A and B are shown apart, each in its own frame.
Chain A
Amino acid sequence: MLSEGGYFMKGMAMGGIFCLLLSLLGSFRPGVESDTDSHHHHHHVQASGRDELRRFSDTEMQKLRNQVQVSCIIMVQPKILAYWATALDTWSKHCDKAVFYTSESTKALEAHDLNEKDDWTRLRKALKHAYDNAGELRWFFVAQPTTFAIIENLKYLVLAKDPNEPFYLGNAMKSGELEFVSYDSGIVLSYEALKRLVRVFQDEDKCPERGHALWKLSEDKQLATCLKYTGVFAENGEDSHGKGLFNSKSVERLMADSMQANPNDVVAGCCSDVAVTFNGMSPNQMQVMMFGVYRLRPYGHDFHDLLEFKAPEGSDND
């Protein structure tokens, strides 16, 4: 009697635990992308090689060069003031237009105060504002000041691409079935992509303004999801040799990785000559980068690039 009841209770308990486990595992959706997946790019956009650019006449090149103008959308916060100030003093000077959007005002620096604490909602507002005020600009670069960018190389990447086509470029990663551009290495949108994005912002089902309460997706994945509905897909930005241009790591990290992976050809095996972004550098390292990128060079070397970008006015560190 007691022993039979004991077995029954044990059975019930085990069954109950098993049911609980099954339901938990079923509803659990890890947002972890495996490293092997994230580098398997179905979609990629490459910079134009020498031969491709040589086919343009001088007038055509001039036209392309004058048309490729970048509007930088820089998402800042007072808690990363040192990065904000550094972005202002360094790479953002090379954008044709740079607008800083902040989560809250601070007396230290001026920016567009979107008065919005939610990261995704704030990003939406910034993108809409940038679109509404685009003027003649047709390329949009979204980044946080913790990223370092070389805008000339961004221009080189999109030089011969039509901004009236939807482009959504950067360091393309994969999370389950979703391919998205990683926020920390900068997001590039063509005018057409941004136009479609702003339109789908109106659709609360496809692209809700406030993220789901329980499983909050990061902004970059939300962005990818919304864009996917408009037929725009993430593409990996690469140089003409297929090397990624948008880096989620710092130069130092990437070089250390290369010393391990390619000990006989460390520098060549590391990063592109025309890389667009790096992430994870300190504000001081960014100041050193300005020198390293825009000034430090060996006398007598000439790369014979096929167009020219002028240095920005009134700047002393580039």
Chain B
Amino acid sequence: MDLFLILNPGTLLITVKCCSDQPKVRCKMTMQSILITCSPFSPVEHNSQLGNSSRTTRILCWIMTGPKNLESRTKHIRETWAKRCNKVLYMSSVETDFPTVKLNVSEGRENLYWKTIRAFQYIHQHHLDEADWFVKADDDTFMVIENLRYTLSSLDPEKPFYLGRRFTPFIRQGYMSGGAGYVLSKEALRRFVKGFDSGNCTHFSTLEDMALGKCMETMKVEPADSRDVKGRQTFHPYPPDHYLVRQPPRPRPWYLLYDHYAPVEGPGCCSDFVISFHYIYGVQLYVLEYLTYHLRPYGYKYRFNPDERIILKTTTEST
């Protein structure tokens, strides 16, 4: 989104125009005394191509699930946020018409890392060219794909990056919480698979997120900072009430102990453009879907508008 000042010599007239280099995005210019803002003007039916750069941000989502959760959890994900991924795969131990992909791994907590390894290998083998970023989520994770796309749009998928809620312990460069969901760039995925092919990465632990973090470190994949421009978190390993409720100043509660970046309790915890919450299933999933995509205060001017720019005006003309 660009704001142009066009000086017309001889008339001392300065024209202000909002323009965009995105093909489907028109600009809307609004005026409030000396504040001129350009914002994306997109139809209510989601413009999923929106981004700050002309690079594509195709996202492939894979959901870690199993036969006993399809009806109670995964079905509702399929009805809600999964539709916003460019491609979605449901990884299980059994093939079904859901549709689920059969990984040669049994169900159970102790097999989560095996499932993760096999899932990424499967994706690398069959779907590598269909996306730029590869997201893993649990069947009790709620994700806002538009916000993930926004965060990823300034990163190069050909570089080795991975994002999520960064935890500190066990791994020197830290690792990303499994429950909050994490994203690998295309290059990161290549390196993960190569790690296992070469034996540099092994199944040394059943703790999926920590073990993956170790492989990322070994293969020199960089953990990126997923927080917004105000330092607020976007990925969350617990439901919203664990973070948003105001608290008196206190030592970190147990669920914030692993955080790499100093956590904030209360309204400053979380970005407006949240990417995920965890332990969300059943009614709660639909509640979050409603709050994110439907319920709104009519006409409300949101406080946080990261695309705004301030310029002094003399005379203006809206286009």
* Chain A positions near chain B (C-beta within 8 angstroms): 65, 89, 94, 150-153, 155-156, 251-252, 255-256, 258-259, 266-267, 270-271, 273-275, 284-285, 287-311, 316-318
Q: Mark B243-258, 1 if CB is under 8 A from A, else 0.
A: 0111000000000000
* Residue among A155, A287, A295, A311 with max Cβ neighbours from chain B (10 Å): A295
Query: Judging by beta carbons under 8 Å apart, are B290 and A293 in contact?
Result: no
The list of the 7 closest CB pairs from A to B, nearest first, reads A292-B291, A152-B297, A298-B146, A156-B298, A300-B50, A299-B150, A317-B267
Number of interface residues of B (CB under 8 A): 52
Q: Which A residues are in CB contact (< 8 Å) with B50?
A: 299-300
On whether A267 and B298 interact (CB within 8 A), knowing A259-B283, A287-B245, A287-B246, the answer reads no
B149 (CB) vs chain A CBs: closest residue:
A299
Does B301 touch A at the CB level, under 8 Å? yes
A112 to B111, CA, bound (A): 61
Min CB distance B246 to A, Å, is 7
Query: Which listed residue, A150, A251, A285, A299, touches B146 by the CB 8 Å rule?
Result: A299
The CA of A251 and the CA of B302, in the complex, are separated in Å by 22
Please tell me if the beta carbons of B292 and A267 are within 8 angstroms of each other in the complex.
Answer: no
A297 with B296, Cβ < 8 A, contacts A266-B79, A288-B245, A316-B268 known:
yes
Contact B298 A271 (CB under 8 A): no
Q: A267-B290, A287-B245, A317-B267 are in contact. Are A300 and B40 (CB under 8 A)?
A: yes
| Given known contacts A284-B241, A302-B40, A316 and B267 CB-to-CB distance under 8 angstroms | yes
Q: A287-B246, A288-B245, A297-B292 are in contact. Are A252 and B283 (CB under 8 A)?
A: yes
Known contacts A287-B245, A309-B300; decide if A301 and B295 are in contact (CB<8 Å): no
Interface centre among B48, B144, B283, B289 (most CB of A within 10 A): B283
Q: Does B204 contact A (CB under 8 A)?
A: no
A309 touches which one: B145, B267, B299 (CB < 8 A)?
Answer: B299
A294 contacts B297, C-beta separation under 8 Å: yes
Question: Which of B44, B270, B286, B289 is within 8 Å of A304, CB to CB?
Answer: B44
Residues on B with C-beta less than 8 A from A271 are 290, 294-295
Contact A299 B273 (CB under 8 A): yes
Least Cβ–Cβ distance between A274 and chain B, in angstroms: 5
Q: How far is the CB of A6 from chain B (nearest CB, A)?
A: 65
Give the complex CA separation of A289 and B44 in angstroms.
Answer: 23
B47 touches A259 (CB 8 A): no
User: Can you list 6 pairs linking A and B with CB atoms under 8 Å apart?
Assistant: A266-B79, A291-B240, A292-B295, A297-B292, A303-B296, A305-B298
B302 contacts which chain A residues (CB < 8 A)? 294-295, 297, 311
B residues 35-50 touching A (CB-CB < 8 Å): 39-42, 44, 46-48, 50
Contact with A along B227-241 (1 / 0, CB 8 A): 000000000000011
Contact A310 B296 (CB under 8 A): no
Whether the pair B272, A300 counts as a contact (CB closer than 8 A) is no
Closest to B76 in A: A266
* Interface assignment of B287: CB less than 8 Å from any CB of chain A: yes
Chain B residues with Cβ under 8 A from A155's Cβ?
298
Q: In the complex, which of the residues A275, A292, A306, A308 contacts B301, with contact meaning CB atoms closer than 8 Å?
A: A308
Judge whether B290 and A301 touch: CB under 8 Å.
no
Partner of B294, one of A252, A273, A317: A273
B147 x A299 contact (CB < 8 A): yes
Is B298 a contact of A309 with CB atoms below 8 Å?
yes
Question: Are A150 and B297 in contact, with the CB atoms below 8 A?
Answer: yes
Contact with A along B297-317 (1 / 0, CB 8 A): 111111110000000000000
Are A293 and B292 in contact (CB-based, < 8 A)? no
Task: From A152, A294, A300, name the one whose CB has the most chain B CB atoms within 10 angstroms.
Answer: A300
